[in-house]
Chain A
Amino acid sequence: MKKSTILPLLAVKNLTVQFKTRLGEVTAVDDISLSLKLGETMGVVGESGSGKSVTSYAILGILDKAGFVSGGTATYSGIELLPTREATMRDIRGREISMIFQNPRAALNPIRTVGDQISDVLLEHAQCTRDTARAKTIQALKNVKIRDPEQRVDAYPFELSGGMCQRVVIAMALACKPKILIADEPTTGLDVTTQRAVMDLIVELTRSNGMATILITHDLGLAGQYCDEITVMEKGKIVESGSSKQIFTAPTHAYTKKLVRATPHGALNARDLLPEDLAAKALPLDADVDRLIKGRRHGPLLELESLKKSFKGQKSFLEFVRRQPAKAFEAVKGIDLKIWPSESVGLVGESGCGKSTTSAMIMRLLDPTSGVIRFKGQDISLVSREAFVRSPTRASLQMVFQDPSESLNPRFTAAQSIADPLIRLMGMRDSVAMTERLHELAQMVGLPESLLERLPHQLSGGQKARVGIARAIASEPDLLVLDEPTAALDVSVQAIVLNLLIDLRIKTGMAYLFVSHDLEVVRLLCDRVIVMRAGEIVEQGATADVLSNPSHPYTRELLAAAPKPPTFLSDDALSGEVMYE
Chain B
Amino acid sequence: MASTIKPAGNQTFFGHARYVVMSNPVTLIAMSLFLLIIIIAIFGPYMVPYDPLASSAGNALQPPSWQHWFGTDQLGRDVFSRVIVATRLDLIISVSAVAMSFVVGASIGGIAGYQGGWLDSVVGRFLDTIMAFPLFVLAMGIVAASGNTVQNVVIATAIINLPFYARVARSEVVVRRQAGWVQAAQLAGNGPMRILFGRVLPNALPPMMVQISLNMGWAILNAAGLSFIGLGVRPPTAEWGIMVAEGAGYIISGEWWLVLFPGAALMIAVFTFNLLGDGLRDMVDPQRRT
Binding site for B on A (CB under 8 A): 22-23, 363, 365, 386, 389-390, 394-395, 397-399, 401-403, 406-413, 415-417, 419-421, 423-425, 431-432, 434-435, 438, 452-453, 455, 457-458, 468, 471-472, 475
Contact = CB atoms under 8 A, between A and B. Distances in A.
Contacts of A424: 188-190
The 6 closest A-B CB pairs, nearest first, are: A407-B180, A424-B189, A421-B188, A401-B180, A420-B188, A425-B189
B35 interface: no
Nearest to B181: A409
A399 B188 CA distance: 10
B174 to A, nearest CB: 16
Contacts of A389: 186, 189-191
B3 A413 contact: no
Interface of B: 1-8, 11, 179-181, 183-192, 199, 202-203, 286-287, 289-290
Contacts of A390: 189, 191
Given A410-B181, A472-B187, 17 more contacts: A363-B187, A398-B187, A399-B183, A406-B180, A411-B199, A413-B5, A413-B7, A420-B184, A421-B189, A424-B188, A432-B4, A434-B4, A435-B2, A453-B7, A455-B11, A455-B287, A457-B287
B142 to A, nearest CB: 36
Most buried by A among B2, B8, B185, B290: B2
B280 to A, nearest CB: 16
Contacts of A435: 2, 4-5
Nearest to B195: A389
Contacts of B286: 410-411, 455, 457
Nearest to B191: A389
Contacts of B202: 411
B4 A431 contact: yes
Given A389-B191, A453-B7, A455-B11, A409 B203 contact: yes
Contacts of B187: 363, 365, 394, 397-399, 421, 472
A386 B189 CA distance: 10
Contacts of A416: 1-2
Contacts of A423: 1
8 contacts: A390-B191, A399-B184, A407-B181, A408-B184, A409-B181, A417-B181, A431-B3, A434-B4
A401 B8 CA distance: 28
B11 A401 contact: no
Nearest to B8: A453
A395 B188 CA distance: 8
Contact of B188 (A23, A406, A471): A471
A407 B1 CA distance: 19
B203 A410 contact: yes
B189 A411 contact: no
Contacts of A471: 184, 188
Contact of A407 (B5, B184, B287): B184
A533 B287 CA distance: 39
Contact of A411 (B5, B179, B203): B203
A453 B191 CA distance: 25
Nearest to A438: B2
A162 B239 CA distance: 61
Contacts of A408: 180-181, 184
A416 B191 CA distance: 17
Nearest to B23: A22
B290 A22 contact: yes
Contacts of A421: 187-189
Contacts of A412: 181
B9 to A, nearest CB: 11
Contacts of A403: 180
A412 B2 CA distance: 11
Contacts of B199: 409, 411
Most buried by A among B185, B187, B192, B286: B187
A458 B16 CA distance: 14
A365 B203 contact: no
B50 to A, nearest CB: 49
Nearest to B290: A22
Nearest to B202: A411
Given A389-B190, A401-B184, A453-B11, A415 B179 contact: no
Contacts of A406: 179-181
Nearest to B194: A424
Contacts of A411: 199, 202-203, 286
Contacts of A417: 181, 184
A455 B2 contact: no
A274 B2 CA distance: 34
A475 B188 CA distance: 8
B4 A365 contact: no
A402 B5 contact: no
A15 B160 CA distance: 58
Contact of B189 (A363, A395, A457, A472): A395
A387 to B, nearest CB: 10
Nearest to A363: B187
A476 to B, nearest CB: 13
A386 B192 contact: yes
A298 B223 CA distance: 73
Contacts of A458: 289-290
Contacts of B203: 409-411
A365 B4 CA distance: 32
Nearest to B180: A407
Contact of A401 (B183, B191, B287, B289): B183
Nearest to B19: A22
Contacts of B185: 409, 420
B53 to A, nearest CB: 48
Contacts of B287: 410, 455, 457
Contacts of A468: 184
A389 B199 CA distance: 16
B2 A415 contact: yes
Contacts of A455: 11, 286-287, 289
Contacts of B2: 413, 415-416, 419, 431, 434-435, 438
Contacts of A475: 188
Contacts of A419: 1-2
Contact of B5 (A394, A438, A472): A438
Contacts of B190: 389, 420, 424
A452 B286 CA distance: 16
A365 B7 contact: no
A412 to B, nearest CB: 8
Contacts of B184: 399, 401, 407-409, 417, 420, 468, 471
Contacts of B8: 453
A412 B191 CA distance: 18
B118 to A, nearest CB: 14
A409 B199 CA distance: 8
Most buried by A among B6, B186, B290: B186
